[in-house]
Structure 1
């Protein structure tokens, strides 16, 4: 990639532009083949036309979706006032006089999306590209599907390592008893951040040493879901000694990821359930589901599920990135503490000819930027609409991104 960038810089000096020669269709296809965020950042820095193409085709978002498909749940981006102000400096008076308001707004939206998604993908890849130790991410307990005796056998006991507390008393969560072994159970936790990259779940089933034959109350399978609360969780919503937790119903959350079913061993050991790849938990809520009961209690002949300890291992993303519920889905929040101004209106040169044509096409049609949609759909995935589908969407700043609602088939796979 570095060689291509150097060659293009040399060609640009000679007055020849790669995008101009190849055309926007083929250029977009070439750029979409980039898999490394560093290559994408270098490409955007070569020239104005390259930068425009990277933003117009949503390449930073496409790259993020390839690596972490769950980010498709974001419906819009929310920036701090400082960051948004610095990004708006790119439109000067000369451009404002020659560009429709809607088109200028679209350009600023593309610049913002490029910046935020590049920051997001960098934050997601950093733990994977350097030696890193995953940490426990559980901050609090939201609730359980059922509890046999609260608080003595409540979910809060699963935060204690092992199956004994500091007083050498048995420490575990126990479900209610059931005649049907197929009745599922679950535990729900709040993580330490709105956005956490999760690598694995560890669970230790409970062995009842005080019962005959010391039975182990494991489940047959474990399944994990990540989600975002539809309204912010309050302190009183969380489990405490006096509160068993009320917000455990599925319709209180928007779920962005559901794992496959992991077989659980009927052993009193800390068992690892590792995801095929690290998964971004959006919203900071984890639901651990237990499917299938194995062990009956001798005293009442009912099936129970009991867990001694649960860990959610991963890493929280930087605090400048966050997620929050909104009316139409989930907002990706970007609030950097210090955002240097990269562009200044007085020093910004005129757009390159290719940029002008791209944005004039956007203004004229309101349905794209002049690319061959059929060609790009075959190469990048079906139903992709680059730029915006409707100028009214641009003017209001609302609505879900066409890319986010496209199904993403053909994008997330290599």
Structure 2
């Protein structure tokens, strides 16, 4: 009888909240967290109350702190608002909703993905254009600098000051995209004497969201140069360091220090400094033939909306809104391993100082594969990860 009673003991009760939190924060894979929350009702409550799914997202992308709150849209199109009644119940509802949405986001951020792509879908506008529409920003979407025997490039207006900046603004495929690098190719004017290359001196990138919805009529088209080029139309949540640009007619790669979550789906390419004068007028220009913003859309079920200086993340769990396709990993790549987690825990500095009874309990916990008991309250999102 004593052995039966001991085997049914909840480790959270013996470890206490602090040691238990230390263990759970070592779970870096959303599948591990989903499995742990499925062990029992008390484990699930502990995971939700401590917002471990949000911690996973913040660990990978600090930009997640921009979210003021999350909302879930019902199948009818309405929002699932906080329930009325006692504050404790309303808080439980909010935490449970946040957990579900951040689990979905964490899966999108951390799932193995090898099909990085150019995420640009539309051109919003350029700071200036010398000859519109012949030298429009839309030409930078072409992968080559000659289309139908004609040069294809964007050109800024001419400036006497070589320090005058220019910028190009693009709309990405989704409101949330994980961006890894940006590629830019300066234009070589093969039709001018000496084949000058109108590159910038340095380049920098900003990512963020518009302060109001982007209407199609405000974007670049054959009749419109774009109306939303001023910074007052956006809130930038990330600014990259400056990168030097070579005066070469090649697709130059600018790798970001770490993958960045672009919240809002807008990227500004800042071209800082000019190096090439045009012989015929003595003015400095910047010309670009091609731009790529390389990364992956996180999910088509997640959208953002401005909320003051922050944003609200909206989740649309409608099966008709398909998730962004991701390549399946093969073999053991990206597969969650409980023994791998146990090894990371014991070899980390966080395991130090845990002694006595807690050491014995942790040894028993990690000494055998984790056994899961089905729970009715496991969310669909967690079910996909298990």
Q: Structure 2 length normalisation: TM-score?
A: 0.77
Residue 198 of structure 1 aligns to a residue in which SS?
A: strand
CA contact (8 A) 1:164 1:171 kept: yes
Cα distance, 1:223 vs. partner? Answer: 0.8
The partner residue of 1:270 within 234, 251, 254 is: 251
The partner residue of 1:114 within 99, 103, 124 is: 99
The partner residue of 1:187 within 135, 144, 168 is: 168
Cα distance, 1:330 vs. partner? Answer: 1.0
Report the equivalent of 1:351.
none
Report the equivalent of 2:230.
249
Deviations 1:179-235 (A, max 9, x none): 211111100011121112222211110011122211100011111111111111001
The partner residue of 1:299 within 280, 289, 292 is: 280
Deviations 1:349-389 (A, max 9, x none): xxxxxxxxxxxxxxxxxxxxxxxxxxxxxxxxxxxxxxxxx
Residue pairs, 1:153-172, within 5 angstroms: 153-165=135-147, 167-172=148-153
CA contact (8 A) 1:143 1:239 kept: yes
Report the equivalent of 1:140.
122
| Residue 16 (structure 2) pairs with residue 23 (structure 1) | yes
Question: What is the distance in 2 between the residues matched to 1:327 and 1:202?
Answer: 32
Report the equivalent of 2:208.
227
CA contact (8 A) 2:144 2:290 kept: yes
Report the equivalent of 1:202.
183
Question: What is the distance in 2 between the residues matched to 1:269 and 1:338?
Answer: 42
Structure 1 pair 27–318 and aligned structure 2 pair: CA distance change class (3 A): same
Structure 1 pair 71–12 and aligned structure 2 pair: CA distance change class (3 A): farther
Question: What is the distance in 1 between the residues matched to 2:299 and 2:259?
Answer: 16
Gaps of 5+ in 1: 1-9, 340-414
Q: Structure 1 length normalisation: TM-score?
A: 0.72
Structure 1 pair 293–41 and aligned structure 2 pair: CA distance change class (3 A): same
Cα distance, 1:14 vs. partner? Answer: 3.5
Residue pairs, 1:82-97, within 5 angstroms: 82=75
Question: What is the distance in 1 between the residues matched to 2:31 and 2:278?
Answer: 57
Question: What is the distance in 1 between the residues matched to 2:204 and 2:234?
Answer: 17
Cα distance, 1:48 vs. partner? Answer: 2.0
CA contact (8 A) 1:153 1:174 kept: yes
Cα distance, 1:133 vs. partner? Answer: 2.1
Report the equivalent of 2:29.
36
Cα RMSD of the aligned pairs, angstroms, is 2.5
Corresponding pairs, count: 317
Question: What is the distance in 2 between the residues matched to 1:174 and 1:53?
Answer: 57
Deviations 1:1-39 (A, max 9, x none): xxxxxxxxx998744221211222232233223222222
The partner residue of 1:318 within 284, 292, 299 is: 299
Question: What is the distance in 2 between the residues matched to 1:286 and 1:323?
Answer: 15
The partner residue of 1:288 within 263, 269, 276 is: 269
Question: What is the distance in 2 between the residues matched to 1:302 and 1:114?
Answer: 56
Question: What is the distance in 1 between the residues matched to 2:246 and 2:75?
Answer: 52
| Residue 16 (structure 2) pairs with residue 54 (structure 1) | no
